[in-house]
């Protein structure tokens, strides 16, 4: 809750510092200014309706639809990033899995590239490669060609991949996952399990639930930041695109709405992670009590 309140206050303060009036950015002539002010109640601002993105539309409606679209990218990207991170952490020390080590190195190298460059390079590379195949008659023109104009599964899949890999998230996640696995292997109860000759997989999975949930919740803010770039690059009409449009048009009610929505979802992710910890781990229940 504190995160949501602080985010909202920060956005409002920034927009108050922007010179000029948001109504000046409306794509309408001065003759309808008074009418719009009266109908929408925007003489002194207001958080209820959009000023310039979709003049007069309820902010809650715009933000709700945009966040739903963004979550369809964010959640799969988060799962993919966590899976790749733990997969790389498990495969890295094993010499027999050289191809996985190579895949991890490729992913780590890609994740070191700024997400804006990674997104644009992905669009340009896929378009150029597909066009070359079409010219040579190897493939027919796909329904999704050319990116990012045509919506569809291909565009969504590439956006999810870029979001999962971008901004060094892959490298960071694999390092954090490796640390969690090392700490788990060094724990005394794991030594006891191995001494009894029992399989350690089930014990590992059980004790990784809580740190994995917390690790996932920590990635949500950076995923929201990446959404602004990824959605713009792939023309996805989500919260990132809406926030960009709101800031460009000085539509501060919509910008505040998106910021508050992102803050609330971030807080909700943290709450879910802590709830899982209390349910799964008796030690967390004792601390909570």
The CA-CA-CA angle for residues 235, 110, 147, to 5°, reads 25
CA-CA distance, 73 to 159, in Å (whole number)? 7
Q: What is the pLDDT of residue 248?
A: 86
Q: What is the pLDDT of residue 95?
A: 44
Q: Which residues contact 261 (CB under 8 A, 6 or more apart)?
A: 63, 64, 67, 239
Residue spans per domain, the chain? 2-11+62-288
Q: Which residues contact 279 (CB under 8 A, 6 or more apart)?
A: none
Q: What is the DSSP string of 10-62?
A: HHHHHHHHSSS-GGGGSSS-GGGHHHHHHHHT-TT--SSB-SSSSTT-BHHHH
Q: What is the pLDDT of residue 238?
A: 94
> What CA–CA distances, in Å, run from 1 to 266, 272, 276?
10, 14, 19
- Work out the percent of the chain whose per-residue pLDDT is above 90: 24
Q: What is the pLDDT of residue 55?
A: 84
2-11+62-288: CATH architecture: Orthogonal Bundle (1.10)
Q: What is the pLDDT of residue 96?
A: 43
pLDDT beneath 70: ranges in the chain: 1-47, 91-111, 167-170, 288-289
CB 254 within 8 A of CB 61: no
């Amino acid at each position: 809750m504190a995160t949501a309140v602080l985010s909202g206050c920060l956005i409002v303060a920034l927009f108050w510092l922007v010179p000029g009036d948001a109504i000046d950015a409306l794509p309408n002539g001065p003759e309808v200014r008074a009418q719009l002010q009266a109908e929408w109640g925007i003489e002194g601002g207001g958080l209820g309706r959009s000023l310039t993105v979709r003049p007069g539309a309820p902010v809650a409606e715009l933000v709700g639809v945009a966040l739903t679209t963004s979550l369809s990218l964010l959640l799969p990207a988060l799962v993919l990033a966590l899976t790749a991170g733990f997969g790389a952490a498990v495969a890295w020390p094993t010499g027999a899995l050289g191809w996985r080590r190579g895949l991890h190195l490729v992913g780590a190298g890609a994740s070191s590239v700024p997400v804006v460059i990674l997104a644009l390079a992905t669009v340009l590379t896929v378009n150029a490669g597909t066009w070359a195949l079409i010219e040579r008659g190897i493939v027919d023109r796909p329904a999704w060609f050319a990116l990012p104009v045509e919506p569809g599964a291909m565009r969504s899949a590439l956006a999810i991949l870029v979001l999962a890999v971008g901004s060094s998230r892959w490298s960071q996640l694999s390092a954090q996952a490796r640390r969690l696995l090392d700490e788990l292997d060094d724990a005394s109860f794991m030594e006891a399990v191995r001494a009894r000759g029992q399989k350690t997989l089930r014990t590992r999975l059980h004790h990784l639930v809580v740190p994995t949930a917390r690790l996932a919740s920590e990635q949500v803010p950076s995923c929201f930041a990446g959404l602004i770039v990824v959605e713009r690059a792939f023309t996805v009409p989500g919260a990132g695109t809406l926030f960009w449009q709101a800031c460009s048009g000085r539509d501060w009610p919509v910008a505040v709405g998106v910021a508050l929505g992102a803050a609330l979802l971030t807080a909700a992710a943290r709450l879910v992670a802590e709830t899982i910890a209390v349910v799964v781990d008796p030690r967390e229940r004792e601390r909570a009590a």
